[in-house]
Structure formats: structure tokens, C-alpha cells
Structure 1
């Protein structure tokens, strides 16, 4: 491995941007039965297997790289080229980022050398591949599209499936598909057995049904029925388990192939009861959106809303840590049973205290600093996830074509921006009609959103959430909703203009999505998806002061004798 000081300094700088928080522990397990507790170590083993699957999905050489670092004895080992830093730091970097690229896709390992110190065994490019490991490394979008155009029937469905990889025949050079159940069977089969065993132990019948049907899906490659079972896990279940292929962010080529992830949470019943009231407003919010009726969805299923405290996670869970998720993304189970919003309260609390509050102190005008509140942050994350259900998911001129398929590589950033800004717009609506308590005020939500924008942009604008937030920030600045004070070198919300600016952006993004005009979306992203000099200066100040970008977990469940 190249041992340049540059690679070592990159890793040191990347790791310094994250602060460890303790996640999970006995304080969250009071309502678990003896069977639930016995199931936990089995579920953690599933999470570790899912982690191995995702490492494969991330990059074609990722598994080899992880195995090399894990098996390496350290920088003093004379039989191999020296490592750029201590083994533990490299392993931490790989655990947090799930590959050799950190925030903003900056590489912190450049190559693996053979024992002779000259031959490159694993070459690591400056940027992660857009193909992930869902497609051949050398396959282009043009080749993929030309190939799909030749297919019909089931072959075409498999080529455009969430749950098939595309491979190249070495002899004929032709593309073909392989189902996930075959591609990852060496890991899915033992994971399925563990899920079946855990199912015999958990106390809740609906959770048991999901674990059993998900185990079956690992072999059949048909995830619809088990997704529906996941959506129907009882509100009385003390454990919340999410496991399977869900998010599409790793597939930067098409935003199509699903990556495996795993979570096990303890249900927070008190917070869930408070949050549940929001799900009943989904269609009402849709009906009042600031868009023409042709862009509005009808007969929306209110998402189930669950508040939890995380115990363990694996797979597609690279930092920044997920604070909430709204799943599934597959339209088929959504059509049957809607979606489910999972709010991870203990992670959100860690982010607010360790990251957002210090950011606010550096970027907000002093007179608005007191407006920043955890409840405003918490409720906006909630509304962000609810708002993923709002707006057009199919094109207005072709109700069979999805927004995702039309926008392809631009879909993820636009969808995250939509959920953010539409969620903020919905909060103003719910404050006005009395659904939300008037404290915190609208001003608190806007000021907290402004500070949180810097938190998201710091993830890097090559990442969907960061790019989506950058687009919003620059648009709202242009509309006068946010302002920069050159004298204080800080930002503020213009409370006279912010509501109109948020409404305008909500309309703009949803119309672009519903029209499905990829060229127009590209132009929109190119215009607003750039960090302005004032923002760049503030980001540099945050980095110079050592304000963390995000948090990473230390799992108490592995340390404190929970099992």
C-alpha cells in the first residue's frame, strides 16, 4: 500500500470530523421479554452478515481491501508494504465510510501493493465508481440503455430490477442479470437461518411473521410480501427490525439497484404516540401543496410512524448516521400497504447536541441563535420523511413512468431536496391550523433549518443529502429568505420573505419531478448545486474550529453485557 504522508493526513482529517456517541444500552430494554433479549445476539449476527453484503455492493474490490486491512498485522510487519497509519485507524475509517473514500468522496487509501512493494494488487481510483458493484466496472450508461432496449418480458424486468446485478459474460462480452439471491447466497443463506431462529424467540407475532417472510425472501428474491409484513409490524412490538435491500444511493449510475441494510431498535412508545398524529394528515397536506392538481397524488396511504432508539446497525449505514428513514422505496409494496417512517430518537439527540448546536453558534446571527431548538430539528426530520410520500412519483404526461426512471442519476438529490423543503412547508401549514404546538414557533423552525443546512452541506455535495441541501440553500438565498451579513460574517433568516421562498421552491422541485424533464433538472442542479463563497468561508471556519461533521456509533449492546 502506498504509505505517503498525504494519505495518512487525509484519514486523520476525515476521522477528526466525526464524534463518537454511545448508542443503545440497557436503559432502552426495559419492556423486552426474555425471548426478545435472546433474539438480540442472533439479530446482531444478521447485521454483521448484511455488512459483508454491502461491502461487496459498494465497490468491486472492496471486499478484498477490507480482508487485507483486517488481516494485516500492522505497520511493523516486514512481509508487506507499510500501512499509512495504525491498523485500528484504517479499520475505523473503513467501518465508518464502508470503503476507502470519506466525506466528499475523498480517497484515504490509494493502492495495495504486493509484497515486493512494486506491483499494484488493488488500485483505488480517486473517486468511487458510479457503478458500485451492481454493474461491470467498464459498463457505461449508454451501453446499459442500448442493452435494455433489446430486451422484452421478464428479461427486461430483471434488467431494470431493484434486486438483480448486471454482469458481463467474459467470453461473449454480453450483459446478463443475476438475482441477489444467487449473487449473495453465501451470506443470505446463513442470515436467513438466523432470522428464522430469532423469529422463534421474539414475543410479537407480527414481528415473527416479518422475520420469517424476510428469511424466505432472501432465497426467493421476491421482497414484496415481506416488505408488506414489515409495514404491518404491530405498534405493540417492543423491537423494530429493518433488514433487506432498500436504498438506491450506492447505485450512482441509475439510482436503481438496492443496497442491503440492517437495523434493530427498541421501540420508544411515548414518542411514537406523539408522532402518530402526523400520519393522518398526509393526504390533507398533499391536497394543499402549492402545485397544480395534476402534480398531486391521490389516495395516499398514511405512513406508519415509529419512534425508536437504535441498538445496532449494519450494511448501507455509512456515516453520516441515519436519523430517520421512510421505507420501502419499491413502488409495489407501497401500493399495497403504504410506507413506514422510523425516527431514531437517540441518534437525533446525539447529532443535535454534538453537531448542530456548535454549528449554529458559528453561522447564525446572535439574535437568532436562541431560536435553535431540538424539537424544531426533531419535527422537521419527521416531516422530511413524511414528505417523501408527497408530490408526484409518476410523470404527469405518463402515469406509468416513474420520476425515478426519468431523472435517473439526478433523482436522489432532487428527492432529498423535495422532502426537505416540502417538510418545512408542511410545518408552517400545521402550525397555522393548530396541529403543531405553537412553541416552537415558525421562526424557530426556519432558524434551525438554516443552521442544519450547513450540517448537511458539510457531508459533501457529491452525496444526495448534501447536494439537495445546497440546492435549497442557494435558492432560498436568491429569493431573500436567507441573508448574509458581511459585517458579522454570519447568516440570518429573513422572516418576512422565508415563507414565500419555501413555497416557491416546493413548487419548483415538484413540477420538475412531475414533468420528468431530465435536461431541465440537470440545469436546475447545475445552477443551484454549487457552494457560494460565503458558504464556503463558513464551512472552512467550522472545520478550522474542529466542529464535527457528524457522529458515529459505539454500540453499547456489544459491550455492556446486554445479552
Structure 2
């Protein structure tokens, strides 16, 4: 058990790192049924919060209940702040400070989360898996089962549907209630099938149904077990989340043309032909505004995502890219621009652009589809070989390939309203934004590796306490880094991945000094869901 150091920030000081921000959407085009369904889906989100707390740590649910009781009894600002920070960060660890606990008596964040026994080693797991049938081994390494220790002390599997039944049964009922209310039949079908999956533990069909939601649906939502970042042992187990959205039809139509460019990017990747993705399926793009969230949605808020992660679903029906416009605007205005003013020269501020930020986030997500997803000459996924480093290298790949794609699309005339210097300069400022999430987090560590590499190669330059882009060297550095990361992935070379992480996944004194100067800039936003508050009062 740990105690809090006297020189660590207080809970109130940590909360000031997150700017309170109302996130709204245009609901005027929704039917009454759509609006009532949003309330149901917000209730599902609250239930999935409880599932997530069970997944993340064996003590999280009890600690959350204690904090709620303390806040209700004391009604003090300190108790309220402690509960607020716990729920914002989805646990007692500060992700922006290397998962430092901010509540006395809480130990280190377990790499096993609560989806494996906390005392289980990777060696014990791998030895046990060898004793299993083919089907059970697949489940053990898969997304939707918990590994527990039975009364005899040996490992065994338990399905999510059994372990989290207390919350998934009512969530399933609410999903079906919402399905009866929504105006779009394809979205209704997804909600009904995902509600069934909560009970059957079979998610493949509902993943495909999600991918086939009509572009005419006014509502969008990603609800279920998706991301594997919190499984720091193997990056295998999926954690429950709920992201509830209203579609932005105009912006969605505008951006759809960029999916047509993914094959062009793949064809021109700076890697040997045998590493290129021969089964590339360009993802459809949906632009939305977020109205509520729950589960695996800790700050920093996700600004875009490319789902599903289940390789079987991807092989059947591809993937879908969701851009969350109101979250991106909030991050750009409240975090990225203030960072840029501190780390860039005044003359470079003219190159900081929301369109470049939005565009790079788009290319990042699209480029998750690019490059090798299977290890060369095997049927193994990259995830299986890189294990705990898979998420970090996948995020770094998408980032740097997104920059590579931007140059290619500018050269081909697909992009004619954003300059390459705007992309590079905005990306530079955004790198510091991501690193402030902490190097214990996949996006933050992935960004630190990229920044260190690009500084070493001269693409970024530090002079007089300011950073800038060297256009003469940046393009080659981006191409070289894209190649290096994709070859590590395509070879499934864990040893090379570890060496790369050890060399570049740390911050030099110039970067560390700049980060200290960002002390008064928010790390991210703290969302206020006004639309749902109002709908709950009405319905």
C-alpha cells in the first residue's frame, strides 16, 4: 500500500488540469423517440461505468461506493472533489502522472487490471494456455472472458456475461427499450443485437450490425467491450464503454472522400511489398457530436476512434471511423492553442490550424487500417507478438502514417486547403498535448517515441526554449519512422520493439523543461453533458 507524498498535487490541483466544458449537439432534427432513446442509452452508460470499475481493479467498486458515501455525508468541497476526480479518471490513479495514486492507501495500478488474477505472471498464463483445448485457448487470449483463480488455485475462464450479469442484464433490457424508440431501423437492429450479446457473450454478429448502421441514422453509439489498453499484461481483454452520439450529416458527407485515398496511401507506403496490407478495406467515416459517455472513457476524452478491434469482425465487414467533432473543437481551443503559444515561436502560430488538427486525427484513424496486421508469413496477429507494446506501437504507427498520408494527399492535390507546414506545426504542438496524458498511457508513450525520434533526426528543432519544424529534414524523418514501426509490427519483433521503446520512449531535458512551462494549461477537458441533463428532465 502507498501513501501520498507531501510534494504531490492535491486533488483540487489535479482537477484544475481539466477544463470544465459543456459539450452540446444539435438535437432539432431528432424525433421524440430518438430523444427518449438517448436517455435510455445514457442509463446504459451509467451501468457500464459499474462494469468498468469491476474490470479495472478488484477494489475500485468498493472505493467508489466509499467516496460517494463520504461526499454525501460530509458535503465538503474536498470530498466532492475526490469523488469527481475518481469518476473523471475512472479510478484512483492519475494517468497524466504515470498512474500515480491520488487517494491514500491505494497501491500501484495492477497490470492485470481485474481481468486476470493480480498475482498471475505472464509465464503462468502461457503455461496454462498450453493445457487448454483450441477453443478455450482462443477464449483465454480473446476479448470477452475473464481469467480467474479457482478454489484450487488454478486458472480458469469465466464469460463476461456471467461475471458482470448484475449490470449487463438491466443494460440489455434498456438497449432493447431504446431499440423500440429510435427512428432508424438499422440502428434499432444494432441496439437489439448488442443487448442480446450482453447476455450470450457472443459479440460478432452485433459488431457486424454496428458496421452496417445506415448513414441516414440520426443517432450513433459505440456500446460494449472494445478497447484493450487497460490490459497491460497482454493488451487482449476488452473493457466496456459507451459513447453516445448525434450524427453531423453535413460533415460526414464532406469527409467520406478521404476513405477513397486509403488505397493510394497503402500503395505508396515506404515498406517492402510483402508487408503491405493486401486485404485493405477503407473504413466509412462518420462525423458525430457526443452527448454522453460511460465505462472505459477516462479523461483524456477520445476524439476519434476506428472500431471494431475484433479481427474476425474486421475480416467480415471492415471497420468504421468515427470523428467526434465537438470533443475535437474543445481540445483544440482549450488545450492545443495554449500549448502552441508557449512552445512555438510567435511567427509559427500562423501555422496552427484546427483544420490541420482535425485532418490529422482523421488520417490517424484511417491509417490504423494501413500496413501489416498479421506477422509476415504467419496467421498470427501483430497483437499476439507485441503483447503489452501492441497498443503503443499501433498508436504511434497511426500517428506517423497519418503525417505521411497528409504529404501524399497534398502532393496529389486531394488536399488543397491545408499546407504541409500547417500539418507538421500543428502536429508538433499536439505532440506535447498527448505526452501530457502520461507515458503510462499508450497514446502518450507512442507520441513520446515519435517526438524523440523526430528530434534526433532533425525534423523538429529546439532553440531558445522554442520548438520548430525543419521542413528540409521532416519529410524524410516521417518516412523513415513510418517504415521502422511497420517493419517491427510486420516482423512481430518484440525484442526490437522493446529496444525502440527504451531508446525513444523517454523525454530529453528540453522536452521535460517545456512540459514544466505548460503547468497552467489544462491537460484535457472535463465534459458536462447538458443535452442529457435537459432530456432527463423532460422524459
> By the TM > 0.5 criterion, same fold?
yes
- Aligned residues of 2:145 and 2:157 also touching (Cα < 8 A): yes
| 1:139-538 aligned within 5 A | 139-170=120-151, 172-398=152-378, 400-437=379-416, 439-485=417-463, 488-538=464-514
Cα distance change on mapping 1:463 and 1:3 into 2, 3 Å: closer
Question: Are 2:534 and 1:560 equivalent residues in the alignment?
Answer: yes
- Aligned residues of 2:4 and 2:102 also touching (Cα < 8 A): no
Encode CA deviations 1:428-464: one digit per residue, 9 max, x unaligned: 1011111112x22000000000000000011111110
Which of 502, 521, 525 is the equivalent residue of 1:547?
Answer: 521
CA distance in 1, matches of 2:208, 2:427: 33
Runs of 4+ residues over 6 Å off in structure 1: 1-5
Q: Secondary structure at the match of 1:396?
A: coil
The TM-score, its normalising length taken from structure 2, stands at 0.97
2:114 alignment counterpart: 133
Shifted more, 149-158 versus 294-303: the winner is 149-158
Q: Secondary structure at the match of 2:215?
A: coil
CA distance in 2, matches of 1:352, 1:2: 36
Q: CA deviation at 1:3?
A: 9.4
CA distance in 1, matches of 2:297, 2:74: 32
CA distance in 1, matches of 2:521, 2:462: 21
Encode CA deviations 1:269-317: one digit per residue, 9 max, x unaligned: 1110111111122222111111001110013111010000000000000
Shifted more, 136-145 versus 149-158: the winner is 149-158
2:11 alignment counterpart: 11
- Aligned residues of 1:285 and 1:426 also touching (Cα < 8 A): yes
- Aligned residues of 2:171 and 2:195 also touching (Cα < 8 A): yes
RMSD of aligned residue pairs (Cα, Å) = 1.7
Q: Secondary structure at the match of 1:244?
A: strand
Cα distance change on mapping 1:18 and 1:179 into 2, 3 Å: same
Which of 44, 59, 72 is the equivalent residue of 2:70?
Answer: 72
- Aligned residues of 2:4 and 2:103 also touching (Cα < 8 A): no
Q: CA deviation at 1:157?
A: 1.6
Question: Are 2:89 and 1:97 equivalent residues in the alignment?
Answer: yes
- Aligned residues of 2:226 and 2:309 also touching (Cα < 8 A): yes
Q: Secondary structure at the match of 1:19?
A: strand
CA distance in 1, matches of 2:246, 2:487: 39
CA distance in 1, matches of 2:388, 2:243: 26
CA distance in 1, matches of 2:331, 2:127: 44
1:40 alignment counterpart: 38
Shifted more, 290-299 versus 146-155: the winner is 146-155
Which of 100, 104, 109 is the equivalent residue of 1:106?
Answer: 100
Q: CA deviation at 1:137?
A: 1.1
Q: CA deviation at 1:12?
A: 2.5
- Aligned residues of 1:7 and 1:109 also touching (Cα < 8 A): no
The gaps in structure 2 that reach 5 residues or longer are none
CA distance in 2, matches of 1:3, 1:476: 38
Q: Secondary structure at the match of 1:401?
A: coil
Encode CA deviations 1:18-67: one digit per residue, 9 max, x unaligned: 11110125xx1111112101211111100100111111111110001001
- Aligned residues of 2:277 and 2:372 also touching (Cα < 8 A): yes
Cα distance change on mapping 1:492 and 1:475 into 2, 3 Å: same
Q: CA deviation at 1:8?
A: 8.3
CA distance in 2, matches of 1:541, 1:378: 25
CA distance in 1, matches of 2:372, 2:123: 27
Q: Secondary structure at the match of 1:378?
A: helix
- Aligned residues of 1:481 and 1:499 also touching (Cα < 8 A): yes
Q: Secondary structure at the match of 2:482?
A: helix
The TM-score, its normalising length taken from structure 1, stands at 0.93
CA distance in 1, matches of 2:294, 2:533: 17
Q: CA deviation at 1:76?
A: 5.3
CA distance in 2, matches of 1:73, 1:30: 37
Which of 48, 51, 54 is the equivalent residue of 1:53?
Answer: 51
1:24 alignment counterpart: 24
- Aligned residues of 1:7 and 1:108 also touching (Cα < 8 A): no
Instruction: Tell me how many residue pairs correspond in the alignment.
Output: 535
Cα distance change on mapping 1:180 and 1:49 into 2, 3 Å: same
CA distance in 1, matches of 2:36, 2:371: 43
CA distance in 2, matches of 1:8, 1:29: 43
CA distance in 2, matches of 1:347, 1:73: 29
Q: CA deviation at 1:161?
A: 1.5
